[in-house]
Amino acid sequence: MVRKIGILTSGGDAPGMNAAIRSVTRVALSNGIEVYGIRDGYRGLLEGNFEPLTRKDVSDILDQGGTKLGSARLPEFKEKEIQERCVRQLQDAGIDALVVIGGDGSYRGALALTKLGINCIGLPGTIDNDIPGTDFTIGFDTALNTCVECVDKLRDTSSSHHRCSIVEVMGNRCGDLALYTAISCGAEMVISPETGYDELEVLERLRYLGEACKKNHAIVIISEKVTDVDDLAKKVSLQTGFSGRATVLGHIQRGGSPTSKDRMLASQMGEKAVDLLMEGIGGQCVGIIDNHIASMPIEEALQRPRSSRKRLYRLFDRLV
Ligand code: ADP
Ligand code: F6P
């Protein structure tokens, strides 16, 4: 029977992580289970940096961005000896199970701990929406809304000045943030790891939009790490009828109060994590699949291919 659980947030933070911490804490407490918050991801686990959480400790955090527990990256957590030291820290504190909120790297850590005897459940927390085993991650919707708000503003000024705005969004090699932003904002182009990048084609398309289609502005949404956007903007100015301007949205996408969608998702996923631990289940991750909260073994999730979003890319093409 599970009596004490720990909770930690790991990897890049995401809006809604606090809502998940609150949900796990309150659902567990209402089932008579004690909850310990672990500071700064696996680093706090290694250092034994634990604090008991009460209902009151998680008051007023539902609407807060970031993570109350702090997050960190600990590359050496991949080593078995470090994992074993973490297990000893948990055992010394009497913590018998763990909820890990993070990305696929954090899931791998959770799986390793489960194999060493501590049942862990992974919750998908990242703005990138790049975690297999779920249609949506905690934080994606908030980041998307931030992107949409920013691009709507850029559109105002781009259209006044006959400019092409090249907007770089995050995603860590996953194009979902770019694609969903592009559709939501009516962008002229989307460039992502899924579309691939051909600079000549991009410039040709922009020339066509300006000259043949007589567009007075253009918005290009591009995923980070695809190309240097400042360089692309200069080429746009030189080789198309538009004056190019690059905007990197950067870490602003990681902050802010979570949307109601992310709060709901986090609250439901937190509840599911506690239910699984109470059933004595570990090594699983929680997701939302076809609008239902579900869970599956982490090993299975990590092997699943991510959707290539073919239908949404086709929709984008039909809308421009
Ligand atoms: P994310 O969880 O968002 O994918 P990272 O890839 O940075 O973020 O992983 C977060 C942390 O998870 C890492 O700093 C490390 O402590 C742990 N981690 C990553 N990969 C592994 C792995 N293969 N095995 C065990 N732990 C891992
Ligand atoms: O995984 C979230 C994310 O914001 C990615 O979109 C981005 O590539 C990366 O983290 C940035 O990491 P850092 O916080 O180290 O700048």
- SS3 for 92-103 is HHCCCEEEEEEC
Whose tokens are 């604090």? That residue is 51
Mutate to test the pocket of ligand 1, among 104, 108, 173 (most ligand atoms within 8 A of CB): 108
Identify the pLDDT of residue 228.
98
Backbone phi, psi, residue 281, to 5°:
-95, 140
Query: 163 in helix, strand or coil?
Result: strand
With cut-offs at 50, 70 and 90, classify the pLDDT of residue 214.
confident
The residue annotated as part of the active site, out of 40, 96, 128, 176, is 128
CA of 162 to the centre of ligand 1 (A): 44
Ligand 1 neighbourhood includes 44 CB (under 6 angstroms): no
Task: Kindly give the residue spans of alpha helices, DSSP state H, lying in the chain.
Answer: 17-30, 41-47, 80-93, 104-115, 140-160, 176-185, 199-211, 229-239, 260-278, 298-303, 310-319
Identify the pLDDT of residue 147.
98
Between CA 96 and CA 116 the distance in angstroms is 12
Who lines ligand 2 at CB under 6 A? Answer: 12, 126-128, 170-172, 224, 254
Atom of ligand 2 nearest to the CA of 225: 8
Specify the amino acid at residue 102: G
Ligand 1 neighbourhood includes 109 CB (under 6 angstroms): yes
Looking at the CA of 15, name the nearest ligand.
Answer: 2
Ligand 1 neighbourhood includes 128 CB (under 6 angstroms): no
128 part of the active site? yes
Between CA 209 and CA 259 the distance in angstroms is 35
Check pLDDT > 90 for residue 277: yes
Please give the average per-residue pLDDT across 74-89, as a whole number: 97
- With a pLDDT cut of 90, the percent of the chain lying above it is 94
Specify the amino acid at residue 212: A
For residues 22 and 58, is the Cβ–Cβ distance under 8 A? Answer: yes
Ligand 1 neighbourhood includes 129 CB (under 6 angstroms): no
Mutate to test the pocket of ligand 2, among 172, 176, 177, 181 (most ligand atoms within 8 A of CB): 172
For residues 177 and 223, is the Cβ–Cβ distance under 8 A? Answer: yes
With cut-offs at 50, 70 and 90, classify the pLDDT of residue 212.
confident
Identify the pLDDT of residue 306.
85
CA of 254 to the centre of ligand 2 (A): 8
With cut-offs at 50, 70 and 90, classify the pLDDT of residue 158.
very high
318: tokens are 């039909």
CA of 167 to the centre of ligand 2 (A): 17
